[in-house]
Amino acid sequence: MSAIVFLIQCPDRKGLVAGITGFFAERQYNILHCQQYTDVENGQYFMRIRLEDEGQKPHSDLETEFAEFATAMNLIWSVRYSDKPYRVALMVTRASHCAYDLLLRELEGELKCEIPLVIGNHADLEYMARQFDKPFYHLPITKDTKSEQEAAIKKLLSEYEVDLVVMARYMQILSEQFVEEFAGRVINIHHGFLPAFQGARPYHQAYDRGVKLIGATAHYATADLDEGPIIEQGVERVMHDNSPEDLVMIGKDIERVVLARAVKAHIEHRIIISGRRTIVFSEGA
């Protein structure tokens, strides 16, 4: 079944549900699922509505009509179509566990997306890309070549028509210009439970503090390091006798799951960014 998914946000007020659902009902769209959330503290309303796509009208016509409706209703919105899979680029350095996990989930159909390329600032994981029959682009970076390297990345993203960039333990800081250009379209996995233990070696920071829980955080990349809106987090209990190396190994499993959940939520069009927060609608709808 083909489906159309709208994400909508606006100031909260009476009559929103009736108005929005009425718009689609008038055009003979069957509403398969509708989720809502009201942020009472800030007076904001959020909706995810999934419609059955039976070819009632061309997608461009629907978007034109909804744009006019949204302007009158003061709505911020976006739309995705299930017959157009997300195209996801993986960016890697030397750690393979997160990228391997995503490639395997794509291969087995757990992630309904296409991963057309892998980009690495080191060549270490070229063999991994070959195993999954993916082109690998080695784009080394130095302090003096950062702008040229990012320009090459952006050229590849355009050529491959990439919708989403995933930093699968890509251990480089993207420039402010890059993350602003791709705002809301770059997901990073941080091997720490943010906002604690930001920056480098978070598991060693956790060990030094003697924490009893370690975690990982998937978030949208922004110009501020490890400060982007959080999408997904996970934790695991650890003991006083776990070494820093133990924490790294335990953390790898958390990172895999957390990043996969975040990517899945994004490609299923279930996330709305609201300031520093995200609204993540439930899975399976």
Domains in the chain, ordered, with CATH?
3-81 (3.30.70.260), 86-280 (3.40.50.170)
- Determine the pLDDT at residue 205: 81
- Determine the pLDDT at residue 242: 84
- Determine the pLDDT at residue 131: 97
Integer CA distances (angstroms), 114 to 50, 52, 176, 263, in order? 22, 23, 27, 12
- Determine the pLDDT at residue 7: 98
Q: In 3D, which of 215, 220, 240 has the Cα closest to residue 230?
A: 220
Contact 205, 193 (CB under 8 A): no
Contact 100, 107 (CB under 8 A): no
- Determine the pLDDT at residue 207: 80
- Determine the pLDDT at residue 285: 58
- Residues composing the chain: 285
Q: What are the catalytic residues? A: 226
| Beta strands 186-190 and 213-220, pairing class | antiparallel
Query: Which portions of the chain are predicted below pLDDT 50?
Result: none
